[in-house]
Structure formats: structure tokens, C-alpha cells
Amino acid sequence: MSTTPRDYVAQTSGRPKQRQALGISILGLLLTIGGPMLYMALMANSWIRASGAPAFVLMFLGSMLGIRAVARDHRLAIRGIGLLSPLLTILFAYIFFWGLKLPPSQTFESLTIAPAFTLPDEEGRAVSLDEVVASGPALLVFYRGYW
């Protein structure tokens, strides 16, 4: 049986290196999970909200560590933990860019005059759009609500 230099290194310095690979893969996974958490925390900033930058930076680093651990140590557990990071990153990117797409509205697109309305505010007082715009410009902000 031939022994490659890599096997030789693995045999001679076995344990510490394996432990290292496990540590690296877990660190990678923590970074990967931390990515979306950091994103949620910083979401008030509209650039961060739209780009997802902090999530992708941490998830990319986490995935790199995971892949590095798998390259170093071929045990099943390391593979599982190490490959989970890139998988989660791909899943997050998929949801972020495709899963959260919203349907464009033809009706909204063609509006030139805002439809009139009277709706209750948070205290239950009726607010009429006509009355508001009679005194100044109104910015209507339609949002998905509390969740």
C-alpha cells in the first residue's frame, strides 16, 4: 500500500489536527448562523436591509472555514458540520434573492390620482386623505405590518 504525504501527516500528527478540523468546522457554522442574526440586528439601515451585506460576509467566511475543515479531515461528522455552512449560505441566498420577491401591481403602476380613503389611526381616530393633503403633502407608506 502506498502512503501519500497527506496520509503520512494524518497518521503522525493525527489527533491535534482532527480536533483542529472539528473546531474550525464548528467555528464556521457559528459564523454562518451568526450572519442572518447580525443582519436582523442591523436591518434598520436600508442599505444593509436591501443588500444583506453583513449576513453574506459572515456566511461566506463561515462557509470557507467549513470547506477548509472538510478538506483537512474526511470524517463523516466533520463533513456534516463543515458542509452545513455552505448549504445554509446557499439556502439563505436563495430565500433572500428569490423567495422574498413580491408581485408587481399593474393597478398601482397605473395610478395617477391616489384613491380617497378614511381610515382609523392607532388611537381609533378617523383620518381622511383629502383632509391631510388639503394642508400639505402626504407620504403614504404601505407596509406589511407587525410580525
Partner 1 sequence: MTELVGLRAVNEELQRRGGRVLAVSVDPPSRSREVVQNRKLGFSILADESGDILRKYGLLHEGGGPGKKDVALPAHVLVARDRQILWKRQSARVQDRPNPEDLEALVRGLRLGDDSSE
Binding residue for partner 1 (CB under 8 A) from 36, 52, 54, 86?
52
Span 5-24, contacts to partner 1 by CB under 8 A? none
Site for partner 1 contains 137 (CB under 8 A):
yes
Q: Which three cell numbers stand for residue 133?
A: 393633503
Site for partner 1 contains 114 (CB under 8 A):
yes
Site for partner 1 contains 58 (CB under 8 A):
no
Site for partner 1 contains 133 (CB under 8 A):
yes
Site for partner 1 contains 1 (CB under 8 A):
no
Site for partner 1 contains 57 (CB under 8 A):
no
Angle at 31 between CA 29 and CA 32, to 5 degrees: 60
* Min CB(127)–partner 1 separation in Å: 6
Site for partner 1 contains 38 (CB under 8 A):
no
145: left (phi over 0), alpha (psi -120 to 50) or beta: left
Q: Using CA atoms in the order 56, 59, 64, 66, what is the torsion angle rounded to 10 degrees? A: -160
Site for partner 1 contains 131 (CB under 8 A):
no
52: left (phi over 0), alpha (psi -120 to 50) or beta: left
What number of CA atoms fall less than 13 Å from residue 17's CA on the CB side?
16
Is residue 106 within 8 Å of 94, Cβ to Cβ? no
Site for partner 1 contains 94 (CB under 8 A):
no
**Residues found near partner 1 in the complex (CB under 8 A):** 43-44, 46-47, 49-50, 52, 96-97, 100-109, 111-117, 119-124, 127, 129-130, 132-147
